[in-house]
């Protein structure tokens, strides 16, 4: 298995753009996924397959990938976006996925 | 609407066993892989394991930290997934979430829908 590395915290003012990075050696070969978790709540999937947005997720959430780093971008940050964000990926030794890994999480603070 | 409801959590002594259940509704349970993810108090998310659908052999995969102690099973007739936890350790204390698994947990893996979680506390 491998590790995913995220910054512990990111701070932005309302209306600005927040970028949260996630680095891992296998990311060029495997998709990344992003989850938002607010205090006392279950996580919510906000990005899948690097850049796809599930239905119901606001358009201000987007994802991108470049080499060993994936990025979650939140444009026009709102107070309600303050939360912990986790990246996730998986690896395999052959045809199918065998192990799942989460990044350590990034706390987004809206100033 | 997809609903996942976990049950069975509680206080248990180290070395003992506990079984969690995840009751699903709002989708065709047998068509989906199911997974368990846990979160220790104040910590990040940790994958526990998953079970694929019968279409993919109902096979399972586990995190190294629980392999050999935890077992995931499913009853498609009742739309329930189970997490049997044996030889529990204090470090297994966490909220345990049941999730559906996108990509069939085969060609790719992600966690699409989540339950609200059930707290397991391992302490003497």
Tens-digit pLDDT profile for residues B94-124: 999 999 998 888 888 999 999 999 999 999 9
Q: What is the mean pLDDT of residues B82-86?
A: 98
Share of chain A above pLDDT 70, in %: 99
Classified as helix, coil or strand, B72 is strand
Burial of B24 (0-12, 13-18, 19+ CB in 10 A): buried
Q: What pLDDT score does A67 carry?
A: 96
Chain A with chain B: Cβ pairs closer than 8 A = 65
Q: What does the angle CA B87 – CA B92 – CA B97 come to, to the nearest 5 degrees?
A: 115
Q: Note whether B117 contacts A42, CB cutoff 8 Å.
A: yes
For residue B18, pLDDT beyond 90 = yes
Q: What pLDDT score does A92 carry?
A: 83
Start-end of H helices in chain A: none
Residue in chain B lying closest to A40 (CA): B116
Q: Note whether A100 contacts B63, CB cutoff 8 Å.
A: yes
Q: What pLDDT score does B29 carry?
A: 97
Burial of A13 (0-12, 13-18, 19+ CB in 10 A): exposed
Phi, psi of A67 (to 5 degrees): 60, -125
């Amino acid at each position: 298995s491998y590790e995913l590395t995220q910054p512990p915290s990111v701070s932005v003012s309302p209306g600005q753009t927040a970028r949260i990075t996630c680095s891992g050696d296998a990311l060029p070969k495997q998709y990344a996924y992003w989850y938002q978790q607010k205090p006392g709540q279950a996580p919510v999937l906000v990005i899948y397959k690097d850049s796809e947005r599930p239905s119901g997720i606001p358009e201000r959430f987007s994802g991108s990938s470049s080499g060993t780093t994936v990025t979650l971008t939140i444009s026009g940050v709102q107070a309600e976006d303050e939360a912990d964000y986790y990246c996730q990926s998986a690896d395999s030794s052959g045809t199918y996925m065998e192990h799942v890994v989460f990044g350590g999480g990034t706390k987004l603070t809206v100033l | 609407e997809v609903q996942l409801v976990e049950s069975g959590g509680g206080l248990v002594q180290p070395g003992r066993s506990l079984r969690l259940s995840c009751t699903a509704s709002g989708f065709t349970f047998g068509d989906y892989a199911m997974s368990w993810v846990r979160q220790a108090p104040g910590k990040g998310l940790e994958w526990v394991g998953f079970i694929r659908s019968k279409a993919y052999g109902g096979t399972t995969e586990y995190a190294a930290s629980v392999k050999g102690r935890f077992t995931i099973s499913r009853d498609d007739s009742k739309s329930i997934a189970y997490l049997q936890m044996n030889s529990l350790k204090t470090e297994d204390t966490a909220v345990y979430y049941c999730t559906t698994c996108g990509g069939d947990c085969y060609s790719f893996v992600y966690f699409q829908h989540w339950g609200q979680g059930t707290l397991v506390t391992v302490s003497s």
